[in-house]
Structure 1
Amino acid sequence: MKFSKKVLWRLKNKNKRLKPDKYKKLKRESLRGSIKGTINRPRLSVYRSNENIYAQIIDDINSTTLVSCSTLDRDIKLFSKNGRTCDAARLMGERLAELSLQKNITKIVFDRGPYLYHGRVKALAEGARSAGLQF
């Protein structure tokens, strides 16, 4: 189910019947419809909360998580006091790239979910690119 931006805005503003979480789900599904992870190019999925950011590399064909990482991991918490910063997201992207390179994963497809490519999501992607992952 893929929607254009125009349709999504119309649904969002239509008498406020569409709740924010439903709108977020529709937006995520419209993006995810075009992104699929395979064995050769798994999908890097990002979830961002107010306090932390989480990422995992997923093979959609076998429905398995290959690598996962978050700002709650001990390695990242040692270097950053807070999981809400772009620096913590960049460190997490670098750590995720190291873990994926150990499992011989070099090429991925980036799935930002319903989030804009800005701030912590962008910092995570740039950290993963700088450590060796190819998008």
Structure 2
Amino acid sequence: MEKRTSRIRRAKATRSHIRNLAVARLSVHRTSQHLYAQVFAADGETVVAAANTLQKDVMDGVKGTKNLSAAAAVGKAIAARAKAAGIEKVAFDRSGFLYHGRIKALADAAREGGLQF
């Protein structure tokens, strides 16, 4: 099985489980250059908050977009924006990516920002 197919299979299984929990979902997508995070409402249709490495206010004082410090900046920004929207508790959807490196750094920063997983 190729790498992308395996990742999508893992992502579908996770999203199915999160849908049954009926809580807000923090979804993360990683590319080779950038990192994107969105908080979806419990219904799964509405984006409540979003942050990524393309936004200038998120990347102030951070050197580069594909390192751990950039991931931490996105995690802090998404936590602040979700809390401003009234969301405290989320389910972490890593989109099939391994919980390692930039994904882990984003999750740790979001937890420090006040989100509960």
Common fold: TM-score over 0.5? yes
C-alpha deviation, 1:63, in angstroms = 0.8
Counterpart for residue 21 of structure 1: 4
Tell me if structure 1 keeps the 8 A contact 2:58–2:73. yes
Equivalent in 11, 33, 38 of residue 51 of structure 1: 33
Q: Distance in 1 between matches of 2:5 and 2:90?
A: 28
Query: Which deviates the most, 99-108 or 58-67?
Result: 58-67
Following TM superposition, by how much is the alpha carbon of 1:62 offset from its aligned partner in structure 2, in angstroms?
Answer: 5.4
C-alpha RMSD over aligned residues: 1.6
**Structure 2 unaligned spans of 5+:** none
Percent of pairs with identical residues: 34
| Mean Cα deviation higher: 74-83 or 50-59 | 74-83
Partner of 1:84: 66
Name the larger-Rg structure. 1
In the aligned structure 2, how far is the partner of 1:124 from the partner of 1:53?
A: 9
**SS of corresponding position for 1:78:** coil
Count of residue correspondences: 116
Letter in 2 for 1:127: A
Aligned position for 1:123: 105
Please tell me the residue identity of whatever aligns with 2:93.
D
How far off its partner does 1:35 sit? Answer: 1.4
- Which of 32, 54, 73 does residue 15 from structure 2 map onto? 32
How many Å apart are 1:104 and its aligned residue?
1.1
Greater relative CO, 1 or 2 (CA 8 Å, sep 6+): 2
Displacement of 1:22 in angstroms is: 3.0
Change (3 A) 1:129 1:62: closer
